[in-house]
Structure 1
Amino acid sequence: MEDLKREYALGYIMLREAIEGLTEEEIRYKPAPDKWSIHQILIHVTDSEISATSRLKKVLAEDKPMLISFDQEAWANNLNYDLLDREQHLLLFKLLRSSMQPILEHLTSEQSLREGIYVDQARFTFKQLLEFRVEHVCNHLDQIERVKKAFQENQTF
C-alpha cells in the first residue's frame, strides 16, 4: 500500500514532466478528428480526478455507498474542453491529490478494504479505487506520449 500511496502522490509531477518544453501547437495537436489533444487529455484527467476524489472519500466516510461514473466523452464534447484553462485544471489536479495526502497517511488496513458499489453492482475496495487512479494517470501519460509521437511524425512530411 505504501508504494501505491507514493505513486498516487507523484501523479501531478508526472503530468508536468510529460508536457515540459512542449509548444502550444504540440499541446493542441489532435492526431485525428476523433482523438484528444494533450490539452484535452489534461482537462479530462482533472475532471476524472474531481469525480474520483469524491468517490474515494465516499467509500471511507459512508457504509457501502453507491458510486457514480461520468460520461467522459459527453464531458469533453459538451464542456468545451478546448476553451478551458489548462493551468487552472492542472492546479486543481494538484490540489485534489494533495488534499488526499493526510487521509492516505492515516489510512488503516481496514479502511483500505472498505467498499463502494456502482450502479451495475460492481464492488470495489478503496485500495482498488486508488489503484485505478494511479493507472488512470499512467494510461493517459502513455496517451500523451502517443500524441507527441504523432505530432513529430506529422512534422516530417
Structure 2
Amino acid sequence: MEQYIVSFITDAEAFSQLVRGIPVEELNYKPTVTSWSITEIIVHVVDTEMILQHRIKAILAEDNPIIQAFDQNLWASELQYSSRDIEDQLALFVLLRKVFAPTLKIIRDVDGERVGTHSTDGSIQLKDIVKKMSTHLQGHIEQIERNRAAFVLLK
C-alpha cells in the first residue's frame, strides 16, 4: 500500500493548482445536460475524500463495520455542489489529506486485509479503499481535462 501513500499530499496540492485560475464560466460549464461541471467535480472529490477517510478509519478501528453507500448524483444536485466556493473546497481537500496522512502511515500490510461490509457491494477490504482513494482523484482530473477540452471547442 505504500505506493498509494507516497504522493498522497502532493497529489492534493497538484490537483488544487490544476483547477485554480480556471475562469468561472469554464468552471460552471457542463458538456452535456447530465455531466458535472468542474465546480461539481471538485466538490465531489472533497466529499468522497471525507467518505473514504471515514471508511478507512472505521475498518481500522472496528471489526467488520457497515460501510454506507451514497448516491453521488443525488448528493451533487441536492447539496447544490454547483454553488460551492471552490477555493474553500480546495483548501479543505489539501487540509484533509495533510491531517489524514499520519493515519495512512500507521497502516500495516496486514491491516490491508481488514474488511467492512458495504451496504450494496458486500465485503470490501481496506487495501481496496486505500487504492480507490488514489485512483479516484486521477479519474476526476481526466474528467476535468475533458470538460476543459469541450469548453474550448465551444469558443
Q: TM-score, normalised by structure 2?
A: 0.92
User: Does 2:87 align with 1:83?
Assistant: no
CA positional deviation for 1:7 = 3.3
CA distance in 2, matches of 1:110, 1:2: 13
Deviations 1:98-139 (A, max 9, x none): 122111222212222211111235222211101011111011
Aligned residues: 155
Give the match for residue 142 of structure 2.
142
Give the match for residue 151 of structure 2.
151
User: Does 2:106 align with 1:106?
Assistant: yes
Is the CA contact 1:115–1:123 (under 8 Å) kept in the aligned structure 2?
yes
CA distance in 1, matches of 2:10, 2:69: 24
User: Does 2:26 align with 1:26?
Assistant: yes
Identity across the alignment (%): 33
Give the match for residue 130 of structure 2.
130
CA distance in 1, matches of 2:42, 2:121: 30
The unaligned stretches of length 5 or more in structure 1 are: none
Is the CA contact 2:39–2:84 (under 8 Å) kept in the aligned structure 1?
no
Deviates more, 1:95-104 or 1:139-148: 95-104
User: Does 2:14 align with 1:14?
Assistant: yes
Amino acid at match of 1:120: T
CA distance in 2, matches of 1:121, 1:142: 25
SS in 2 for 1:39: helix
Supply the RMSD in Å over aligned alpha carbons. 1.5
Amino acid at match of 1:36: W
